[in-house]
Structure 1
Amino acid sequence: MAVVVWIVEGTWPACVAAAGAHAPEEAEVVLLHVAPADVPGAAHGALAGLLGRGGPAPGRPGHEGPGPDPGERVARLADASADELLAEAAARLGRPCTLAKRTGRVEREVVAAAADAELLVVARDGDRAHLGPRSLGPASRFVVDHAPCPLLLVWPESAPGTATLPPPPPPPPGP
């Protein structure tokens, strides 16, 4: 049995705990982190947007241009952060697992990573104070709607009570 556990900053401990509790001991557990591809590009775009104002003017002594591309630095920092998060998740899981990193459209990468899985573990990442569909952010909603395998959807902390349900809709108008 292959179990993919989506590791996201802030909600990963609940996913790891759920995998430890629900995945059979012989299951192949994959801890998955996905970095959005557009963040380094935005940092690079910010440098390009300076239109030459990122450093001393050309032709002047000491001109070195705007310096290193901040997109590359952001990508390195994101990669190091993913390594740290995955290592901490693996330590908390406390059993053999595979660490996987992907970059791209987060929701699509998670769905693709779960293509051959028999279980995908995902945490709610939206409004966690109320029951209902808003407890899922856009990426999680996409993953829940498109998961190619059974899904275990967990609350990162205790689930809110049923008193947080919205009131029922009004009855339809009479004839």
Structure 2
Amino acid sequence: MTVVVWIVEGTWPASVDAARAHAPEGSQIVLLHVNGHEVPGVAHGAFAGLLGRGHPERDPGTRVEELAGVFATRLLEEAAERLGRPSTRVERSGHVEREVVAAAEGAELLVLARDGDRSRLGPKSLGPHSRFVVDHAPCPVLLVWPETAPGVSSIPAPPPHHQ
């Protein structure tokens, strides 16, 4: 069984703990981190548009990409240590949600944590990237709360025309 665990800053411990608890022994566990291209792209664009061209060695976007790679490597190392089982670490970059869906192709399970408004139950508990992944995942998804889930009393009241 192949289990892909999406490692995201801030919520990754819950995803790793869920994989450790629910992935059968002997599963191939893939720890996945995706660096988005938005921030480096902004830095590249600012350099080209505002600071001029002709000195690519001064492009801050390149440094941002390098730092993101270093951060991803450390995060994956911490995740592997927390998992405490054999795993494969995968770093990707691009459109985050599409890279996660592509990485889950052929997997038997994708594990991710809620990353939106975690103060109440409901669809807003998923950020835009996670919502896309949940809607387009090519395999079963295990969606976990990074902390204790709010109670059912947090569900908003139905609209007046449904009462």
TM-score normalized by the length of structure 2 = 0.94
Match of 1:44 in 2: 44
Match of 2:2 in 1: 2
2:84 corresponds to which of 89, 94, 97: 94
Q: Distance in 1 between matches of 2:107 and 2:99?
A: 13
Aligned ranges 1:149-164 → 2 under 5 Å:
149-164=139-154
Name the CA shift for 1:135/1:50 in 2 (closer, same or farther; >3 Å). same
Q: Distance in 2 between matches of 1:115 and 1:21?
A: 22
Pairwise CA RMSD of aligned residues? 1.8
Q: Distance in 2 between matches of 1:115 and 1:12?
A: 20
Name the CA shift for 1:172/1:126 in 2 (closer, same or farther; >3 Å). closer
Q: Which has the higher helix share?
A: 2
Would you say how many aligned residue pairs link Structure 1 and Structure 2? 163
- The CA deviation at 1:51 is 4.4
Taking only the aligned residue pairs, the percentage that are identical comes to: 68
Matched, 1:142 2:132: yes
Match of 1:133 in 2: 123
Match of 1:23 in 2: 23
Name structure 2 gaps, 5 residues minimum: none
Match of 2:72 in 1: 82
Structure 2 SS opposite 1:72 = helix
Q: Distance in 1 between matches of 2:73 and 2:18?
A: 21
Q: Which has the larger radius of gyration?
A: 1
- The CA deviation at 1:65 is 5.5
- The CA deviation at 1:169 is 2.7
AA aligned to 1:16 is V
- The CA deviation at 1:48 is 1.7
Match of 2:93 in 1: 103
- The CA deviation at 1:171 is 4.3
Name structure 1 gaps, 5 residues minimum: 55-63
TM-score normalized by the length of structure 1 = 0.88
AA aligned to 1:75 is E
Match of 1:57 in 2: none
Q: Distance in 1 between matches of 2:39 and 2:135?
A: 25
Structure 1 SS opposite 2:116 = coil
